[in-house]
Structure 1
Amino acid sequence: MSSTAEPFRLSVFVPPVVAVVADHLGALADAGVDLIVSRTNSSAQQLTELRAGVVDAVVTAMDNVIEWTSSGCRTVVVAQLEATTALSLVARPSIDDVGALAGAAIGVDAFANGFSMLVRHLIRARSVPDVRWVEAGGVRERFAALEGGSVDATLLGSPFSEAARAAGFRDLGRVDSLFADFPGQGLVVAAERMPKLAPVLTRLLRAFDRAIAWSADAGPEVGCDLLMDAGYPGAAARSAWDCRPRTLVPTAAGRERIARMRRDLGLLPAGVDPEELWAPGLVAAATRPGAPESVGDRS
C-alpha cells in the first residue's frame, strides 16, 4: 500500500466481492485507498458506529437507510455492491412449509429494516398467524440462534444455509428468488459526512468499478478460486460470485421494490422519500470516461 494511501474504514458482514477483487488487482493501491475492513455483528452495530464516526461506511441492506433516516441518522446509498443477496428461509426439521411457521419464532437481523422485509412480506402474503420476531443479529448470530433453539426459523446465506441443511434443518426456499428485483447490499454512508468523504469515496468506487470490469471477463472458476484464497468457503464463494454486481448503480426496479414492499407492510415512514436516500453523483464521477485511474493522477 502506498504511503500516500488514505485510510477508509468499512464495516461488513462478509467482505464484498468487489473489495476482494479490487485488492487482488492492486486497484485500491492505485486509487490511493487503504481499505480497513471490520466485520459487524448486526445492522444495529453498524448504525451505532456510523453515528459515532467509528467507521466511514457500511455494506448493508439498502433498505436500512429508510429506517435509519427515520430514526434521526440520515444515511444514503452511494453504490450497490451486490446484484442480489442469496438468502434461504431455514427452519427446524419439523417445519416443512412456510404455512407451518404459525406461532414460530423467526430470527432476523432487525425487525424494522433490512432483509427482514422479505420474510415479513412472505409471512403476510401467506397469512401466517402469530409469528414472533426475534432480533438475533447477523447471519452468524442467526445461525447460532437456530442451532441453539432460540429461534425456529431464520434467513441464512451461504455457507450457513448449507451448514444448516447438513445439520438436518429444513430449507423452505430461497426468499430472494421470490422477489428477484429486491436489491443486494449497498455501500452506505452518513449524509453529513458525504462532503468530507467524497474524494476518497470516488477513488474507492473507481477501484470497485475496475473490479467489476475484470470480473465480467473472469470465469467462475477463476473468481471462486480468488474468493476462496481470500477466506470464503467453497459454497459461499460460488454464491458470492454469482451475486456480484454488474454495475455500481442501484436499479430503479430495485429501489422501487424496497419502497413498494414497505408501503404494502405499512412501514414507509412519513416524510421519508426513498429516492432522496440514493446519491448517484459519486458513482457517476468515478465511472465517467477519462476519470483518473491512480492516486498519482490526482491534482
Structure 2
Amino acid sequence: MTTAAMDLRLAVISDGFPLWPLHIAKSSGLFAAEGVNVAITVTGSSAKQMELLDQGEFDIGIQLPDHVVRAVSHGSDIFAFMAPVHAADISLIAKPGMHSLADLSGRTIAVDGAKSGYALLLRRMLRAQGISDADCPLTEFGGTKERLDALTDGRADAAFINPPFDKKLLAKGFVRLTSTLEAFPDYPGPVAAARRDWAASHEEPLLRFVRAYRKAFAWIADQGNRDAAIKIACDRLPVDQEMAAAAWLDLSSRPAPVLCAAGLQQVVDVVWDSDGLPLPKPNADKFIDLRYLENAPLR
C-alpha cells in the first residue's frame, strides 16, 4: 500500500542560485522519494515571512540567521535546524571610480533590509573605517534583482550583489570593494527554521525534508547529473547555461553546508550589539536544535 505524501509549506524570501539544491530536490524527485510534497512560496519580505512562519501560515522558512535570532529574542518559538545554503561569498560592488570602503562615506548603499544580516555586517565594516551610520545611510531596495537594478541605473552607489551576478557587473567596469567571506569568514549563511511546537508534532515529515535536502547536495556533486542540474537551474532560475555551468563547478566541489553553534554565536553577537538588547547575551543553543539533522542520516 502506497503511503500518501506529506505536505509541507516552505517560505523563501527570494529565489536564486543559493536555493538551487531546493529546486534539485523538487525537480529530480528527491522530495517525492522521501514522501513529502513541498509547496514553495516566495514571500519577498523577511519581516513578512517571519510573521507568517510564527503564525503557522508556513511550516518551514529559509532566511538569514539574524532573522531567527531577532524573532526568538522577541518571544518567538522558532528555531533553526539546518543550513540549506552555503554562506555565500557576496561581493560589495561599487560604481566605477571607487577604490575602498572609505569612498562610501556620504554615498547611497542598497540593501535588502536595514537590519538584515548582511546590512549589519556592512555596518561593522563601515564603522571600522570610521564611517558612522549618519555618514552612510543604508537604503532598502529589496532582493538581489532590485539591488542590481538600483546599482546599474544609478540610484545606488554600492550594494551587496550575490554571485554570479557580481561577475557580470565587474565585466562592465564596476568595482569589488570586499566580500562577506573576506570580512567575516565564519559567519553562517541562511538557515532553515520552524516553530518548535510544529516540529515536535511533525517530526517525520521534517526528517524526510532534511534527508531529501541533504541528498540534493550529493546529487549535484555527481558528475553524471551535471547536465540535468544545469537544465533545472536554467528552467527554474533567471540564469543562462554559462552562469549555471560556472555555479555547478563551484557547488559540486564543496561539501554540504553545516550549521553549528559557534557560527551562530557570531550572529547572536551582531544582533545583540546592533539592537542594544539586554544582557546577559544568550548562548547560541537557544536558537538551534540539531536533533533533526542528526536523526536524518542519508540512506
TM-score, normalised to structure 2's length? 0.82
What secondary structure, in the 3-state scheme, does the structure 2 residue paired with 1:287 have? coil
Change (3 A) 1:94 1:223: farther
> Structure 1 238/39 Cα, relative in aligned 2: closer, same or farther at 3 Å?
farther
Q: Deviations over 1:118-166 (max 9, x none)?
A: 2122112222241102222222222233234433221110243234335
Matched-pair contact (CA < 8 Å) for 2:104–2:136? yes
Mapped to 1, the partners of 2:249 and 2:56 lie a distance apart of 31
Aligned length: 288
1:156-171 paired onto structure 2 within 5 Å: 156-171=161-176
Q: Residues 161 and 219 (structure 1 numbering): CA distance in 2 closer, same or farther, change over 3 Å?
A: farther
Instruction: Tell me what 1:296 maps to.
Output: none
Match of 2:104 in 1: 101
In 2, Cα distance between the equivalents of 1:259 and 1:100?
A: 29
Cα deviation 1:76-108 (Å, max 9, x = unaligned): 111001232131111222433211001122222
Structure 2 residue 213 is matched with structure 1 residue 205 = no
Indicate the SS of the match to 1:238. Answer: helix
Larger mean Cα displacement after TM superposition, 234-243 or 123-132: 234-243
2:99 is the alignment partner of 1:90: no
Report the secondary structure of 2:236's partner residue. Answer: coil
Residue of structure 2 in register with 1:39 after alignment: 42
Query: Contact conserved, 2:262 with 2:284, CA < 8 A, in 1?
Result: no
Alignment check: 8 A CA contact 1:121 1:265 kept? no
Alignment correspondent of 2:115: 112
Amino acid at match of 1:173: T
- What is the distance in 1 between the residues matched to 2:119 and 2:43? 17
Q: Contact 1:90–1:171 at 8 Å: present in 2 too?
A: yes
8 A contact 2:88–2:180 mirrored in 1 = no
1:66 and 2:75 aligned: no
1:14 matched to 2:22: no
2:147 aligns to what? 142
1:54 and 2:57 correspond: yes
- Deviations along 1:224-264, whole A, 9 cap, x unmatched? 62553443423366347635773464134422332344466
CA distance in 1, matches of 2:249, 2:57: 29
Q: Is 1:27 paired with 2:30? A: yes
Unaligned runs of 5+ in 1: 294-299
- Residue aligning to 1:275: 285
The separation in 2 between residues aligned to 1:90 and 1:113, in whole angstroms, is 18
The 8 Å contact of residues 94 and 174 in structure 2, kept in 1 or not, is answered as: yes
Structure 2: distance between partners of 1:252 and 1:52: 26
2:198 aligns with 193
Residues of 1 paired with 2:202 and 2:35: CA distance?
Answer: 14
Gaps of 5+ in 2: none
Structure 1-normalised TM-score? 0.82
Distance across 2 between alignment mates of 1:223 and 1:127 = 48
Aligned-residue identity in percent: 27
1:179 has 2:184 as partner: yes
The amino acid that maps onto 1:135 is E
- Aligned-pair Cα RMSD in Å: 3.0
Native 8 Å contact 2:111 2:140 kept in 1: yes
